[in-house]
Amino acid sequence: MATRDAVFAVLCAALCVLAVVAPTAVAQEVPASGPGVEPLVQQGVEPDSTRIVVDVSESGDATWEIQYWTRLDDENTTEAFQSLRDDVRANPDDYTSAFAERIASTVGAAENATGREMAATNVSVSAETRSLPDSFGVVSYSFEWSNFAAVDGDRLVVGDAIEGFFLDSSSRLILSWPDDYGATTVEPAGDETREHTVIWRGSQTEFVSGEPSVVLERGAGGPGTTATASPTPTPADSETPAAGDDPFPTTTALVAVVLVVLVGAGALYLRSRGALGGGGDGGADATDAAGGTAAEAPPEATDASAGEAASASAGDDTASAAASAGAGAGASDDESDAGGDGGDEPSPPPELLSNEERVLRLIESRGGRIKQQEVAGALDWTDAKTSKVVRGMRDEGTIEGFRLGRENVLRLPEDDEGADADTDGGDAKGV
């Protein structure tokens, strides 16, 4: 019993360590993504995080800057970024051409959705090294987005152009406005607020339909208009990674180290007491006792035990077969409900399908067309996840989409040329 209790205690302590370390390790595996990141990866630089900085003016126009941050923590990464920086300065068009096309498509979709005339101009790219005090390589794409916000007298309404904007766990959206305006509405609430600035982090917030939404009024005060208790911001603060973005925060590391030390000390103590079999005769005595009991058991008892074990094994096999049959029947029923092909060969169960295959199957089951909102409901996805999957499928040409009133409608590709007139829009879910 002492040995069991000791092992149980050690396992519990080890699980505590894993509970602290595992979430951090998972978060560290998420790479940065967004328009313009592909040329960086091709040059051997894989950004760790993304900053999307939006500065809205009184006219409703906005300056956008999409920054890709890479921690320069080893010689190879530093050399790769230096090579990338030199190439960006020598050949900027190689980086801005594809980026400008992607942004123009997004702005065009937002124009169709809002009814305001919009354009993306003055696209540029830059690369530099910053020390904060750790060294980071930063590649920044910037452009001007005209009529990004709706102007209504002394009010600015921000957000309808990027409704349902997708932020992954390594991304952050930073929205700022003029000094003489105050925010009367901020939905959802910012993960951080500064003077005339609100910040949403993808690791904490998912935008749904109608979000983000920020209403600004001249001379008003409200959420996000006064500085919080955080340190006074400097001009570079809006671009500096927060402590929460650190792949392994100092506090978490210290806690993990303390737990490891405690586990080690506990194991040594238990071993010295003989509970783990290394410091006393308890383990050997227990083994001898168990061996003596087995040796003294009569042959009849051994045979009976073997028979009972065989019977139990057979019973387990029968139960497993029945469970497998039931599971197969359930999967078959699910496929019928999902609108499978209905042929002689069974379709794979939904859990074995990719996200794209599940969307295609759902569209086929609805006669070739379905509203995007219905996809989210049928597959029990968030609006953000649905938008990301659909956008990727549209980029690959797997499906098409068009606006029907205020709804996005998805459909299978059509061969007729007239289908192109309906597929303009619906990509305002992310840049």
Q: Is residue 422 domain-resident?
A: no
Q: Is residue 279 domain-resident?
A: no
- Which pLDDT does position 267 carry in this prediction? 66
Q: Is residue 370 domain-resident?
A: yes
Q: Is residue 103 domain-resident?
A: yes
Please give the Cα distance from 413 to 360 (Å, whole number): 11
- Which pLDDT does position 273 carry in this prediction? 61
Check: CB of residue 197 under 8 Å from CB of residue 224. yes
Residues of the chain with pLDDT under 70: 1-31, 221-261, 263, 265-346, 406, 415-431
- Structural domain ending residue among the three candidates 218, 248, 264: 218
Q: Is residue 417 domain-resident?
A: no
- How many structural domains does the chain have? 2
Check: CB of residue 298 under 8 Å from CB of residue 306. no
Task: Work out the number of other CB atoms within 10 angstroms of the CB of residue 296.
Answer: 8
Residue entry with tokens 């003016």: 57
- Structural domain ending residue among the three candidates 164, 187, 218: 218
Q: How far apart are the first and last CA of the chain?
A: 61
β-sheet bridge partners, residue 150: 157
Provide the CATH number for the domain around residue 384: 1.10.10.10
Those residues whose C-beta lies under 8 Å from the C-beta of residue 77, and which sit 6 or more positions away, are: 45, 70, 71, 137
Asked whether the whole model's pTM tops 0.85, one would answer no
Reduce the DSSP state of residue 312 to 3 states and report it: helix
- Which pLDDT does position 149 carry in this prediction? 96
- Which pLDDT does position 342 carry in this prediction? 45
Please give the Cα distance from 43 to 13 (Å, whole number): 43
Residue 35 burial (10 A CB sphere; 0-12, 13-18, 19+): middle
- Structural domain ending residue among the three candidates 218, 253, 272: 218
> Do β-strands 369-371 and 407-411 pair in parallel, antiparallel, or remain unpaired?
antiparallel
Dump pLDDT digits (tens) for 111-142: 999 999 999 999 999 999 998 778 999 999 99
Task: Work out the number of other CB atoms within 10 angstroms of the CB of residue 317.
Answer: 10
Please give the Cα distance from 6 to 268 (Å, whole number): 11
Is the torsion defined by CA of 373, 376, 382, 386 positive or negative?
negative
- Which pLDDT does position 425 carry in this prediction? 44
Give the amino acid at 20.
Answer: V
User: For residue 377, what are the domain limits?
Assistant: 353-411
**What DSSP element (H or E) covers 412?**
none
Q: Is residue 51 domain-resident?
A: yes
Please give the Cα distance from 89 to 200 (Å, whole number): 31
Q: Token digits for 289?
A: 């006792």
Q: Is residue 76 domain-resident?
A: yes
Please give the Cα distance from 277 to 281 (Å, whole number): 7
Q: Token digits for 234?
A: 């400097």
- Which pLDDT does position 64 carry in this prediction? 97
Q: Is residue 212 domain-resident?
A: yes
Query: Which of 193, 151, 152, 153 lies closest to 176, judged by CA?
Result: 193
